[in-house]
Structure formats: C-alpha cells, structure tokens
Amino acid sequence: MAQMNMGQTEAEGNSDTKESSLWKEAWKRLLKNRIAMLGLAIISILLVVAIFAPVLAPYDPLKTNVIQRLKAPSFSHWLGTDDLGRDILSRIIYGSRISIQVGVISVSLALVLGVTLGVLAGYYGGWIDSLVMRLIDIMLAFPSILLAIVIMAILGPQLSNAMIAIGFVNLPRFARIVRSSVLSVKEEEYVSAAQSLGSSDFRIITKHILPNCLAPLTVQSTLSIATAILEAAGLSFLGLGAQPPTPEWGAMLSSGRSAIQVAPWVVAFPGLAIMITVLGFNLFGDGLRDALDPKMKD
C-alpha cells in the first residue's frame, strides 16, 4: 500500500514539474512578443480605468443637462456630450466596468459548463459522449448572436440575462476543446498508472487531465472575453442587454444613432472604446496561443 502511494505521489510530482516548466517557458516567450505585450497593456489600462472609475470620471455618468446636449468635444467635456447632455467620457469610463463584468462572468459561466460537459464526454465516452456532442452540434448550427437573441427573448431584456445568454452560446467552444484534450490525455501512461493504482475518476480528472487542458482553456478564455464584450454590445444595441440609463457602450451606440449626422462623436467614441478593448484581448490571446504552443521556438 505504501509503495502504491509513493508511486502515485511520484507520478503527480513529475506531472506538476512538467506543467510548471511549460508555464515558465511560455511566460518567457510571451514577454518577447511585443504585440502580446501591447494587448496586455490595453487590458491593464482598462482594468485600472474600471477600478478607479469614480476618481477618473469628471462627471456623474447618469446626470443629465439638456442645456449642454450634443456639445462637441471641448476642454469642459473632452469627448463631448450626448443627446441628454451627459458627459461621454464619464459614461465610457463607467462603461468599462460593465464590459469587464460581462466578459468575466459570461466566460466563467461558459467555462464551468463547457469544461464539465467536455470532461464527461471525453473521459467516459459512449452514449454520454454521443449525447453531449449532438447537443453541442445543435447549438453550433445556429449563429451565436441569433441564439443569444432567442435566449434573451425567453429571459427578458436585462444585463444579467445577457450574461447568461452569452455564456450559453460560448459553451460549445470550451466543451469541444476540453473533450479533444481529454481524449488525448487519458491515453497517456501516467493516467493509466493512476488508474492501475486505484485512483478515483475524480482524482484522475482533477490531478492529471484538467491540468493538461489549462493551456488551450486559458487561450480560449482570453479570446472569448473579447467575443463576449462584442456580443454584449450587440445585444445592448438591439435593446436586449443593458437598459437606459446604464452607461454600457453598446447602449450608448444605440441611443446616439439618431444624432449621428449632427453629432458623430456620440457614437464614434463608444465604438472606439469597444474596438480598442476587443483588440487588446485578441492581441493578448493570440500571444498566449503562440507562447503556449510547444512547437514555437525562439
């Protein structure tokens, strides 16, 4: 019994050492990627802006002033005002909080559900695999935005419901990634050794299989946050996500489209905020993918 425990501990130690070395090498490669560092800088600035929004915002994002409506950018209002006289810069700053919240919560939901389904399908196979993958195929048959709209029509137009809808439509990506990783990893010798030593399925999955899925999941999570922010803005633009007067970027685009000809800054700056944010997460995600690819050489 002692020999079995020693063998199991040794196998786990070797696996942990291998994972630690992989992440150290990946970090070194990531630091050398200037494009990825640019994306990380954009994300870092976004986080700082979101955290210190009350300090950085010059005005109350919800306070209206009809006298100041549709004012062009000036020293008093750097990005101008909207159709209700609200400061656009302040609303964009507070909108960063909502975008990060939507991205993190919706992707976390997709990650938890997708990993669970992917592990069940890949590890146990058989009818469980067939059932899960057919459900995933059905979901992938619909355009993601259309599926999100259908879910929002059922749940109702609300930001929290938008997070649920976005998490649900992003679930298949994580499920397929985890399933393919599990199918590959479960054939490795250290997994067979753990099974022969009497380890439970839960222990094998958590100690041996899931750690080997972290690299592709990390990359997909980063890229999915960008997708989630974009999808949330699309739902809010259609009136299905954040509701007025919430300072959400997509809702700002929707409310400002009627004044686009006389005050183009009303939609230009929120659109620019969405573009820069999505670009930052995509650049960093692409850099992570390259850094975590063992085939990449310095």
Instruction: Place 29 in a pLDDT band, splitting at 50, 70 and 90.
Output: confident
Of residues 200 and 63, which shows the higher confidence score? 63
Instruction: Place 28 in a pLDDT band, splitting at 50, 70 and 90.
Output: confident
Residue 145 has pLDDT above 80, yes or no: yes
Structural domain contains residue 2: no
Question: For the segment 68-93, what is each residue's pLDDT rounded down to a tens digit?
Answer: 999 999 999 999 999 999 999 999 99
- The total of structural domains in the chain comes to 1
Residue 7 has pLDDT above 60, yes or no: no
Residue 11 has pLDDT above 50, yes or no: no
Q: Torsions phi, psi of 213, nearest 5?
A: -100, -5
Question: For the segment 207-251, what is each residue's pLDDT rounded down to a tens digit?
Answer: 888 888 888 898 999 999 999 999 999 999 999 988 889 999 999
pLDDT value of residue 63? 92
Structural domain contains residue 5: no
Structural domain contains residue 81: yes
- Indicate whether this model's pTM tops 0.75: yes
Instruction: Place 3 in a pLDDT band, splitting at 50, 70 and 90.
Output: very low
> Quick one: what percent of the chain has pLDDT higher than 90?
59
pLDDT value of residue 22? 67
Q: Torsions phi, psi of 141, nearest 5?
A: -75, -20
Range of the domain at 191: 23-291
Structural domain contains residue 218: yes
CATH code of residue 131: 1.10.3720.10
pLDDT value of residue 207? 82
pLDDT value of residue 2? 44
Question: For the segment 169-222, what is each residue's pLDDT rounded down to a tens digit?
Answer: 999 999 999 998 888 887 777 777 777 777 787 888 888 888 888 888 989 999
pLDDT value of residue 130? 92
Question: For the segment 152-175, what is each residue's pLDDT rounded down to a tens digit?
Answer: 989 999 899 999 999 999 999 999
Instruction: Place 15 in a pLDDT band, splitting at 50, 70 and 90.
Output: low
Structural domain contains residue 10: no
Find the mean pLDDT for residues 36-64. 95
Find the mean pLDDT for residues 95-107. 94
Residue 297 has pLDDT above 80, yes or no: no
Structural domain contains residue 8: no
Residue 17 has pLDDT above 70, yes or no: no
Let me know if 7 is exposed, middle or buried by CB neighbors in 10 A (0-12, 13-18, 19+): middle
pLDDT value of residue 294? 57
Instruction: Place 26 in a pLDDT band, splitting at 50, 70 and 90.
Output: confident
Residue 16 has pLDDT above 90, yes or no: no
Half-sphere exposure in the Cβ direction for 185 (13 Å, CA): 23
pLDDT value of residue 117? 94
Structural domain contains residue 213: yes
Q: Torsions phi, psi of 87, nearest 5?
A: -70, 120
Instruction: Place 12 in a pLDDT band, splitting at 50, 70 and 90.
Output: low
